[in-house]
Amino acid sequence: MNDHSPPLLRHKAYGQASEFMPAKLLREARRQKALPDGRLPRVCVLDPDGDIVANLLARGHAQPNPFWACYHTSMYNFCRGGIECGIIGSVVGAPFAVLVAEELFASGCELLIHVTSSGQIDPSWRPPFFLLVEKALRDEGTSYHYLPAADFSHLRPELLDLLHDAFGALDTPVYRGATWTTDAPFRETRTAISRAMARGIIAVEMEVAGLYAFAQARAKPVVCFAHITNQIGDVEGDFEKGEAQGSQAALEIILATAKAWLAAHPSPV
């Protein structure tokens, strides 16, 4: 019988190890760049828009990490609330985000927090606001290299439980719900949007489904937040994030997440 499924769904062999591992790439990058050996902060952050990174650098609150060996990105260290974190900006799209996530965990990262801007699908709330993503519709390609076909990839249940009461004291509200992850932001048709709305999806973004599939397949802690910042350009003055491009509110959420996770996972003595 002929297999008429697209190549994306064929011959994945989910139980097999990859032939090309991030440690191999990082070993050669470290050699070529003459970088010293060292571990990253336990908590790392992906900032696809780059606004958090820009704000930290403008205030003199971040410094280059001397150990990060990625060919494609730069990492900066910052400290907030007594917690040191590493942060990488401009990691846009699931393929890039998951590539960097693989390298981060191979380099000593223990918790990855991702804060991405998103377009509003459900009009019930007025942006900007934040969403702790519980699940993401897999309308991208990367997740299918990590998990068999399914509609959604999910935040790991133990992380959802851990963060149950983590954000109540913040000035910025953090809701919970589902997003739609796409590889093609300029192909968000009315039909696709209507179907997403019918499934209770709140916003559309470009990374979460891939990151959650990676997290499940690799058994790694990844927490994703969607900063709902726009109505897909449908209103005048759209894409406003709030004060400091939303970076201060995002840092509060990052700190609350890191505190909750570190309290449950103290450093070995």
**157-171 confidence digits (pLDDT tens):** 999 999 999 999 998
Q: Which two tokens stand for residue 159?
A: 């992380």
State the pLDDT at residue 256.
98
State the pLDDT at residue 122.
84
Q: pLDDT exceeding 70 applies to what percent of the chain?
A: 93
State the pLDDT at residue 172.
87
State the pLDDT at residue 235.
54
State the pLDDT at residue 234.
56
Cis ω for the linkage preceding 6 (within 30 of 0): no
Domains of the chain, start order = 30-233+244-264 (3.40.50.1580)
Number of alpha carbons in the 13 Å side-chain half-sphere of residue 183:
11
For the chain, which ranges sit under pLDDT 70? 1-2, 231-245, 269
Identify whether the C-beta of residue 249 lies closer than 8 Å to the C-beta of residue 137. no
State the pLDDT at residue 1.
46
Spatial CB neighbours of 125, under 8 Å, sequence gap ≥ 6: 175, 228
Q: Identify any residues that bridge with 181 across adjacent strands, giving them in sequence order.
A: 138, 205
State the pLDDT at residue 239.
52
| CA atoms of 184 and 147, how far apart (whole Å) | 21
